[in-house]
Every structure is written in C-alpha cells, then in structure tokens.
Chains A and B, each alone.
Chain A
Amino acid sequence: MPKLNLNRVEMSRQEPQVRAKNFEEVALGYDFDQAAEEAKRCIQCAKRPCVAGCPVAVDIPEFIIALRDGKMQDAVRILKGKNALPGICGRVCPQETQCEVVCTLAKKKGQVAIGRLERYVADWERLNLSGGEPVKPAPPTGKKVAIVGSGPAGLTAAADLAKYGHDVTIFEALHVAGGVLMYGIPEFRLPKAIVQNEVNFVKSLGVKIELDSVVGRIITIDELLADGFQAVFLGTGAGLPTFLGIPGENLNGIYSANEFLTRVNLMKAYKFPEYDTPVKLGKKVAVFGGGNVAMDSARCALRLGADVVYILYRRSDAELPARREEVENAKEEGVQFKLLTAPKRFIGNEKNQVTGVECFEMELGEPDESGRRRPIVKPGSEFTIEIDVAIVAIGTSPNPLIAQTTKGLETSKHGTVVVKDEAVGRTVKDKVWAGGDIVTGAATVISAMGAGKNAAADIDKFLRS
C-alpha cells in the first residue's frame, strides 16, 4: 500500500495588500500539475463518504480519477452529470463542512481539496471546450414547467428538468439571470463571467429564461398553471433585507447588505461613473453581522477605497457564522473585527448623514435555542465609533410577493414557504414545489442546489405519473 500523502496542494491567491484594492478574483486556482498532484492524493476509498457529503451527490472519486489520468473531458462529463454549476460550486461551496470534512483523509487532517479540483475541472472546460461539453437531454415529454427565480435552486432544477426532457421556462425578476450569484456574491469571490457561462450551459439544455419578469405582478402562479405549465418550482430565495430596528437607521449612508452589494456587484457601482449607478464611498465603514454576506460587504467597502472597515458582531470569533476562509481573507486584507459589540443607535448630522454609531459591549451568557451562547449587554458600556457608511448584514427573509399573490400557499411566521415533504419540496398547493432559501431562510448556494435537484426529480416523477 502506498504511503498516504497528507499535504494538500496549496492554491495561490492574490497578495492581501494587492487584492484589497481590486475586484479581481482573490483565489487563482490550480494549474494542471497542481490539480493532478492533488488528485493523486485521493485514495479512492470504498466508502465514498464525500459523495454522501455532497448535497447534489457528485461522483467525486470518479471525476478525481479522470482528472488524475488527464482524461479531462471525462472529468467534465462526470462532474456535470450531477452538478450543472461546477464553476460556481468550486468557488463558493463550504466544502470544509460537506464533502471534505468527511473525506477519509480528514481523520489525519489531510482531506483532499475537492472544491479546488472541482473548480479546476470547471475552469478547464470553460477555457478549452467552446460551448461546453454537449449534454443530450432525454426525448421531449411535451410537459411544461415554470421555474420562478434563476438563482442556484432555480438553475439547478431547470437544468435537471430539461435533461429529463421537459419544456422549462425560468422567470427572473432582475435584468440578468443568476440571482444571488449575480447581485450578492462579489466579483472577487465569484466572477460574473463564470456565472453567466454556467447560465449559458443551462440555456444550452433548452431552458428558456424570461428576464425582467416579476412573478406575482406580471403574471401569478395560478395564471402560469392556467397557461399550460403543469408544474411550478419556486426558487425565489430570501431577498428581503432585515434591518437592525434601532434609532437612526434611515440616515443617509446606511445600507442593507442587499442594497450595497446589488449596487456594487449587479449594477457595477465600483465602475461609477462609467456605469451609471453610484454607491457612497465611505472612509469609515461599519458592517453589522458576522456571516458571509458581512464579509463580502466589508471586503467590497475596502476595495472601494475605505480607510477603515469594521465588522461589528455581537458574539465572539468562535461564533462567527461565516466560512473560516472568508474570515481569514477579510482579516488579511485589513478588515477590523470589533467582536462582542452590538449597536444601540445611529448618530447623524443636520443633512441626515450618518456620522457615528453608539454601541454596547457584550458578554456571552448561556447557550440560546440556536445552541450558541447568548450575547448579553454590559450595562453602562456604551461607546461611539465614527463612521460615514454603515452596512447591515444581519440576514434576509423571503420576499412576500409570491405568497401574497398565490392562493393556497402556506407560509411560516418567518415568511418561508411551508413544504409538506421536505425531501422533495412539495408545497401544500397542488402542482407547486419550492426549494432553497424561500423554504429554509438564508442558507448556502449548494443547499439550494440540492433542493432544486430533489424537487426536479419529484416533479419529473409527478409529470410521468
């Protein structure tokens, strides 16, 4: 038996001082030799725990062996057999808590860098195969399916349904397909050309995408069903921003993370005035929240030229919900973490411009229902931080439009759509499925893709019965 190699091949990244000033991708990816070397470390174990750890069950050992042997087209075919969006997943999936954490080599802290290999295969295809690897859909069934929302859940459901042979149309509210992949995740973490490349792959399967179409306004779910669609999948995500609910929150310069990121990523405000949409370039920026969206917002603010960017989080470092990799990236780039800090009120001037935020120091008490230790205000600990831009990244909930305009759909008190069968996303309304953040509340790209995939299989079963 060959000796186990536990040394993960590092992936090069832009230097922190350099990348903190540009919107180019931070991680630079493997070259072929690096990818092949990493692929050789996979021991091709019989248990295949990585496949079970993947929400869309990619045949990970198979694509790795094809890559190792230089059979790149095979690697692409295997990977895309299960995952229509590998270039995206290779970049933004939390592999460290999914496929990689269960890798047999993880017991010895040498887990295979599956995400980096996935990214390599996807990028190889994009650069080497024009138009992508052809996929043959099943014979047409003549059944029509409507997908609402073109984010990760919708794109995945659409791709699978098209492969099953159904006639699929996606309705997207914004002017470009991709949902949160376009408006939320920044260019330096997920280049928009890669998202559009994978959207084009979904289109190449025969999926139609109707942009500028706000379902609930331009057409309702019931009208879609009456118009000849035999099933509808709701993948509209969690697009409604949550604010802090503290005094002064409507001052100028205070953004929801959704607004800030939409201006920067979707509308390309970092190229203003070449692009028409502006964003306030803060010198002293405070970001509230500790998740990936907070990290993205803070790192965008740095790149827009801020002198100082704070992350204010009411718990401690250990409870930060963001991926560790993103926390480290942010720290390296110079984002300052003010932990155990919670805002009390915003302070503004006569022009309604925010000038500061008064905060409390916090301490951690007993665990709450989320299992994390509950933050408690230290009385009399108020202090003020000078800021000129604030970004609120404390979470999102589903946009209520669909629920408000659809008879017979059930929603929870959090505004999420209730599904009667969680595994496949069937809602209580006949012929309507839902998956992704609209069901779970804000979660990850890959969990939304998993939900889209499972719903697609169930819709297919329903349409054939």
Chain B
Amino acid sequence: MYRILLREDLVPNIHLFKIEAPAVAKKAQPGQFVMIRIDDKGERIPVTVADWDRAEGSVTVVFMEVGTTTRRLATLKTGDSVLDFVGPLGLPTHIDSYGTVIMVAGGFAVAVVMPIARAMKEKGNRVISILGARSKNLLFWENELRKVSDELIITTDDGTYGRKGLVTEPLKEILETRKSEIGRVIAIGPSIMMKFSALTTKPFGVKTIVSLNPIMVDGTGMCGCCRVSVGGVTRFACVDGPDFDGHQVDWDLLFARQKTYLDEEKKSLELWQQQSHPCQTRS
C-alpha cells in the first residue's frame, strides 16, 4: 500500500497526489512515469511523475478525471492509499545543453513539463515556456513554471487569460523570429496538441520531443499494448519511450489505438456512476 500524504485539487477535475514511495522517489527522473492500481479490482494506469522529494520519500503525480479509474482515484483523500505504485518506468527525458529550449505544455501536462523545464534550466539552457489551457479556470502552476523559465507565454482557447488562441501560434512566431537560437522543442499535452506542435516545428527543422500516452497494461515491456509507430518502426512506449521524436510519430495510429476501448470505457463508466450516484440513475 502506498499512502497519499497530500491531496490537492488544482483546478476542477485535476488533482495532485503526493504519494509515499521512498524507493521510487530515490530513482525518479524527469519524463518517467509510474503505474498506479487503486485496488484489487482496478486496472493499471500510467501517470507521469510531476515531482519527487528524495529526502521525504515522496513522489507527486497530477491527474485529470477522464475515465472510471481516474474518477475513482479522485475520490481518495489525504491519508488514503493506493494498492500499487510501480516505477519509475520508461526512459527519462534526455537533458542536455541545447542553448534555448521551448517547453510547450498543454492542459494538465504542465505538471509533467515542470521537472523537465527545471532540469533543462539547471543544465544551463535558456527556457521559453508556452503554457496553454482551454480557459483561465483550468490553468495552474503558472508561477511555478515561471520560476524555471526565462520567458513564459500563456494562451487560453477562449481568451479569458493570456493570449487568446492555441499554443502553436506563439510557438510558430518564436521559430519564425528566433529559429537559430532554438536547440530543441519539448511538447507535452493532449495527443492532438502534441501532433500540431510537431507539425508546427517540422518546417523549421527543430527537433521536437513529445511524450506519448498510449494505453498500457504492465508498463514494463511485457505486453506490447502501447506499441506506437515512430519513423516506420514499431516501438513500445513503456520501455522505448515515452519520449519520441514528434516528427517521426504516426499520430493517426496513436489516436486510433487510444480509442480501442471506447465502448468498454463507456460501459465501465456507466457502472461506476450507478454505483457512486445510485440516486441519479434513471429507471
């Protein structure tokens, strides 16, 4: 059992857990993930690490309520436990001296981008961060990200905060005006955002790393559920990734495979809603 030392609600439907897992904390690096299983009947889901405290022996994860498992996870409170917390898994993000690095964070992925941006900064890079969300009320960690960034640009789809528009717009502008400075782009967020970030940078020829999030079962290279096609070669995101060259990723395959269990997810969610809110189910 792994105890939740702290639960924090960051914005509606996005939550932070600081989890007691000293051995994982000791080894965690930016870009790696953990597999979480809530209880005996639960599925194993991958969640990328947001932070860790080696002295305290804790690992912080941030997750959004999407399906049954994340909604069930969101019912847990400080002091509760999850049954399994396996990690750190996957290859860490490659940190090097690139000159200037653009970090693109979409939605709750700011949590995943944070440790990478920090490591890039510590390595001596100039860090330009672009943080995007649908609306102001879904933005969090603006100040935290600002601390590890030399420049921070915020966008919202509806214009309620920062620039109105998508993250790809400032990304394109920076590349148009300062391409020679930019050694690397790291774009993490919803798959569609990563795809369009990669499409944006491709004409400029700036290497763009994305963190893929296919469905996983074990997370250790055993099953191949998470296979993705990169540069025409099948790779397992859990052990060969999750970071890949965004210009080489077969995005349509990723989107299609992510939808494999839509029917089952719906069925599972209906059952969960019936069980958790029986009074609201219609007869």
> Which residues of A approach B to under 8 Å, CB–CB?
173-175, 183, 211-214, 217-219, 239-241, 243, 249-250, 252-253, 255-256, 258-259, 262-263, 267-268, 272-278, 280, 351-352, 399-401
Contact = CB atoms under 8 A, between A and B. Distances in A.
B217 A249 contact: no
Contacts of A241: 222-224
Contacts of B253: 250, 352
A280 B260 contact: yes
A267 B89 contact: no
A240 B281 CA distance: 44
Given A212-B84, A256-B223, A273 B218 contact: no
A200 to B, nearest CB: 17
Contact of A256 (B37, B68, B224, B271): B224
A296 to B, nearest CB: 15
Nearest to B89: A217
Contacts of B227: 250
12 contacts: A173-B86, A212-B86, A214-B86, A243-B224, A262-B218, A262-B222, A273-B264, A274-B41, A276-B42, A278-B264, A280-B261, A351-B259
Interface string B78-105: 0000011111110000000000000000
A258 B217 CA distance: 10
Contacts of B125: none
A245 to B, nearest CB: 9
Contacts of B137: none
Contacts of A278: 261, 264-265, 268
Given A173-B86, A174-B218, A352-B257, A273 B271 contact: yes
Nearest to B267: A273
A460 B40 CA distance: 37
Interface string B47-66: 00000000000000000000
Contacts of B260: 252-253, 280
B37 A175 contact: yes
Nearest to B239: A401
B34 to A, nearest CB: 9
Grouping DSSP codes into helix (H, G, I), strand (E, B) and loop, the B interface class, with mixed when no group exceeds half, is: mixed
A173 B41 contact: no
Contacts of B265: 278
A275 B220 CA distance: 21
A352 B220 CA distance: 25
Nearest to A210: B23
B180 interface: no
A418 B57 CA distance: 37
B221 interface: yes
Nearest to A219: B23
A267 B260 CA distance: 17
Interface of B: 23-24, 27, 37, 41-44, 68-69, 83-89, 217-218, 220-225, 227, 229, 234, 239, 252-253, 256-257, 259-261, 264-265, 267-268, 271
A240 B87 CA distance: 18
Given A241-B224, A259-B217, A276 B68 contact: yes
Contacts of B87: 214, 217-218
A401 B220 contact: yes
Contact of B221 (A175, A277, A399): A399
Given A241-B224, A277-B44, 5 more contacts: A175-B83, A250-B229, A250-B257, A278-B261, A400-B221
A213 B217 CA distance: 16
Nearest to B271: A273
B271 A267 contact: no
B6 to A, nearest CB: 21
Nearest to B250: A250
A239 B222 contact: yes
Contact of B256 (A212, A240, A351): A351
A276 B217 contact: no
A217 B42 contact: no
B88 A218 contact: yes
A254 B257 CA distance: 10
A258 B223 contact: yes
A272 B87 CA distance: 26
Contact of B268 (A240, A267, A272): A272
Contacts of A250: 227, 229, 234, 253, 257
Contacts of B85: 212
Output the residue of B69, B218, B223, B260 with the most chain A CB within 10 A.
B223
Contact of A243 (B84, B225, B234): B234
Contacts of A249: 234
Contacts of A267: 43-44, 217
B268 A273 contact: yes
A239 B217 CA distance: 13
A259 B89 contact: no
B24 A218 contact: yes
A270 to B, nearest CB: 13
B89 A214 contact: yes
B21 to A, nearest CB: 9
Closest 7 pairs between A and B when the two form their complex, measured CB to CB: A352-B256, A259-B223, A278-B264, A276-B43, A277-B43, A212-B86, A175-B84
A240 B221 contact: yes
A262 B224 CA distance: 11
Contacts of B267: 273
A417 to B, nearest CB: 16
A240 B217 contact: no
A119 B253 CA distance: 47
Contacts of A399: 220-222
Contacts of A280: 260-261
A173 B89 CA distance: 11
A401 B239 CA distance: 8
B68 A262 contact: no
